[in-house]
Structure 1
């Protein structure tokens, strides 16, 4: 190893290796991305057009050209739409293409398995291949059409009663509406947002919680879509916490905007609400990704959020990700409400979500005291489809013990 002027070993070799290592890592990531994209586009082409179907050669070739062009265009549109330029048209194209190819990939894979089973049973051949091809195409088209309608509709109301042992009788029947994952984005949904606000108000809530992931994109671009949230009414409180998508950009700005719309931004803090002579601590924490965002004062801090709260009172905590329930249990929280999972959004993604989160949807118990309600969310992220994972506005009716 070379030595410096004082005789100590120098690090010239290590310094030279560092850029090379980063370069190799970047090349490796690009190769993985290309392999994934090629798989996503190749399998539908193979099952629908090329594998023993006997379709005319121009059809097979045209399909190959279309798939290849889409594979090359997708990452370009993703960069233009979700990178520095934030072009909404490119984002819409990229997100829709990703959703379409994912559905085609999944059902082509199932079609391929079906063909193998039929071949083993002695029912192979061109007729079977064509029948499976047509079936996969029809099923995928039907699911994509239905999934788009589901994504764009006003969410259904999901009503759940939650018994909280420490809840005082004066708070029995308290109506808590949970909004999560509105994800206002490149498709303008200002009118949808207004209808969602009307649906929430029709429930006559005592408390409304927005559990994060309010939008994708800058405040300047999404302000009009978010504005109807200012019309939401609640008897006791309207509260908001950040989700992980806020930390892709202007997290503090979203907190400030929601405060300006009349919501209480529970940025690692709590407030106490009262009804019928009984009180409830309503707390909120930042998303678990906040600490790595580099924003000063942002992190999921349960101790700060509950500092000064009466330990004898029940606690309802708003935290974006279900996995934050571990800290909620340690903090003695009675009920945590979360979003983040979208219920999987597009089947069978819920299996992947379950690898990362303890719960995908609904009410669950954790530890002796803590319950968790995970909303499937009101909006969608990325591909404008919801398949076997309907959106929801959650109405939680709190019950004290009988």
Structure 2
């Protein structure tokens, strides 16, 4: 097994190195006339970028000293996003290259002289001398557009994350909901991902956004943190100021199990949130349940739907908090009316939504599976690059609607 993992890791590293070499060749080698300051600077960037990206990932996963994680995270993770869009820009530019070369050849073709023109024909450059010059012009034009588009895309996507999530409102009708609960509002917060990049200031922006919606209940559906309580306890402290009439509830996500799930469950309890660990509580109008994330199975703490939902009165509406959308199939079996999830980030970085769709039954938004509805939030924060493209962050206010007469 260790050998297989090592081979997979080597294959991934080889692919990353090969793609970086391809982008370097198009953006650095092909746009410079030869060895010189510009090529050396570009080469240094394409060596340092992937090294910092790898170091940022390794330091986070191995629990390196937190100051080191923070120092590596910003440049390393931003390079991850920038490298993706540089690659996409260069690939898209391949289609433009032959068109530009053809346009330049047309521009430089010899013009027929009129019969009245006097004097010898003007000298023209030989085709062999013209081709390298044309290639350089084309390479620089395509490279400039690709680099500008990539930087602008990453810059806009990073600004969108750092300013904090926007509020999204969704109405969900539930057949079993009593009329007295019509309009009950649940603020769904997922995937905050406090860590080396997103810290206390970001947590406060999320809290302010949630409280401004004046919800009846707050559901924090996992992936709160990327790091230990020791390192991130101060960053999570603003969560103590979450306010809702029926309280704030929490379930674990997969990243909690990379960060010390037991410690974080106790920490959020100290902050005033109510952990639902394969458990349920009877609210005045419906049952609220929560299950541990499937990642917990590696520690013998996975989801237990029977414990959370067994023996309940199925005439009452039930809302389940479960981090991953894939848990919907068990929810259907147990007669859950509405499952609230996160995990996917909506893909976070386009075209990541295509990969997310391959791994999850629903990537974002409201969907129905039999008599069970599933709502998947795109999340409030971001993992890795503090950047989102095509999947803006959100805090969703679910407004429950009674359908009974």
Give the TM interval when normalised to the shorter protein.
0.7 to 0.9
Q: Which residue of 1 aligns with 2:130?
A: none
Q: Which residue of 1 aligns with 2:319?
A: 316
Q: Which residue of 2 aligns with 1:37?
A: 16
Change (3 A) 1:349 1:315: same
Alignment of 1:212 with 2:234, yes or no, is no
Change (3 A) 1:26 1:362: closer
Report the Cα distance in structure 1 between the residues aligned to 2:272 and 2:325, rounded to whole angstroms: 26
Report the Cα distance in structure 2 between the residues aligned to 1:230 and 1:75, rounded to whole angstroms: 34
* Alignment map for 1:124-143 (pairs within 5 Å): 125-143=135-153
Alignment of 1:291 with 2:297, yes or no, is yes
Moved over 6 A (4+): 119-124
Give 2:367's match in structure 1, choosing from 358, 364, 369.
364
Q: Which residue of 1 aligns with 2:63?
A: 84
In terms of Rg, which structure is larger?
2
- 1:289 is paired with a residue whose SS is helix
Give 2:207's match in structure 1, choosing from 185, 192, 197.
197
Q: Which moved more, 1:298-307 or 1:98-107?
A: 98-107
Render the CA deviation track for 1:191-223: whole Å, top value 9, x for unaligned: 221222122111111111000001000011111
Alignment of 1:102 with 2:84, yes or no, is yes
Q: Which runs of 5+ in 2 are unaligned?
A: 106-133
Report the Cα distance in structure 2 between the residues aligned to 1:194 and 1:150, rounded to whole angstroms: 16
Report the Cα distance in structure 2 between the residues aligned to 1:329 and 1:262, rounded to whole angstroms: 31
Q: CA deviation at 1:99?
A: 2.1
CA contact (8 A) 1:240 1:263 kept: yes
| Normalised TM-score (structure 1) | 0.87
Q: Which residue of 2 aligns with 1:165?
A: 175
Alignment of 1:262 with 2:264, yes or no, is no
Report the Cα distance in structure 2 between the residues aligned to 1:150 and 1:43, rounded to whole angstroms: 30
Change (3 A) 1:81 1:334: closer
Q: Which moved more, 1:26-35 or 1:177-186?
A: 26-35
Report the Cα distance in structure 1 between the residues aligned to 2:6 and 2:324, rounded to whole angstroms: 32
| Normalised TM-score (structure 2) | 0.86
Q: Which residue of 2 aligns with 1:304?
A: 307
CA contact (8 A) 1:229 1:261 kept: yes
Q: Which residue of 2 aligns with 1:232?
A: 242
Q: Which residue of 2 aligns with 1:10?
A: none
Report the Cα distance in structure 2 between the residues aligned to 1:146 and 1:332, rounded to whole angstroms: 42
Alignment of 1:150 with 2:150, yes or no, is no
Total equivalences in the alignment: 372
Alignment of 1:327 with 2:330, yes or no, is yes
Q: Which residue of 2 aligns with 1:66?
A: 45
CA contact (8 A) 1:281 1:314 kept: yes
Q: Which residue of 2 aligns with 1:336?
A: 339
CA contact (8 A) 1:151 1:384 kept: yes
Q: CA deviation at 1:54?
A: 5.2
Give 2:390's match in structure 1, choosing from 372, 384, 388.
388
Change (3 A) 1:163 1:26: closer
- 1:372 is paired with a residue whose SS is strand
CA contact (8 A) 1:47 1:112 kept: no
Q: CA deviation at 1:379?
A: 0.5
Report the Cα distance in structure 1 between the residues aligned to 2:343 and 2:234, rounded to whole angstroms: 23
